[in-house]
């Protein structure tokens, strides 16, 4: 999929907006995510922390679960953004969850608040990931 520079920045902006809702009283590290599904529908997510720590849900998983709850079958594009020096690097658990709904054409855009970004394929993000 060919995405113009303007389109990429627009998608990053949406993820930055979603990040504003992050609930992070413990880490203060906010993550926002946008998923565009196979029908072109947009689903947003942010990280939601919990006092038990372990029950925290990452921003990208929230966006994916939001999408699946609304009928999403496949991820066409996922954008993940955080306030990091370079484009954010998603955790291993989230890489596996993205894989569950991705295909060879899925575009993964990792970004930061300055809108520096890196585009990766699923195979680049999680080589030799688990598959049933």
Q: Tokens representing 9?
A: 């920045």
Q: What is the DSSP string of 90-121?
A: --HHHHHHHHHT--TT-EEEEEETT--EEEE-
Does 90 participate in binding ligand THU (rule CB under 6 A)?
Answer: yes
How near is the Cβ of 7 to ligand THU at its closest, in Å?
Answer: 23
Q: Tokens representing 124?
A: 């680049």
CA atoms of 92 and 29, how far apart (whole Å):
17
Interacting residue with ligand THU among 58, 81, 108, 122 (CB under 6 A): 58
Q: Tokens representing 80?
A: 């993940």
How near is the Cβ of 25 to ligand THU at its closest, in Å?
Answer: 10
Strand partners, 78: 35, 108
Q: Does residue 49 have an active-site annotation?
A: no
SS3 75: strand
Nearer to ligand THU, 58 or 108 (CB): 58
Does 114 participate in binding ligand THU (rule CB under 6 A)?
Answer: no
Nearer to ligand THU, 38 or 100 (CB): 100
Does 65 participate in binding ligand THU (rule CB under 6 A)?
Answer: no
Catalytic residue ranges: 60
């Amino acid at each position: 999929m060919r995405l113009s520079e303007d389109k990429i920045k627009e998608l990053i902006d949406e993820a930055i907006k979603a990040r504003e809702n992050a609930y992070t009283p413990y880490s203060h590290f906010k993550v926002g995510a946008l998923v565009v599904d196979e029908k072109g529908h947009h689903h947003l997510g942010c990280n939601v922390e919990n006092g038990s720590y372990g029950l925290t849900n990452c921003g990208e998983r929230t966006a994916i679960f939001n999408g699946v709850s609304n009928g999403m079958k496949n991820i066409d594009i996922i954008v993940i953004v955080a306030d990091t020096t370079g484009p954010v690097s998603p955790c291993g658990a989230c890489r596996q969850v993205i894989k569950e709904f991705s295909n060879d054409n899925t575009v993964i855009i990792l970004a930061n608040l300055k809108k520096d970004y890196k585009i990766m394929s699923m195979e680049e993000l999680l080589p030799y990931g688990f598959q049933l």
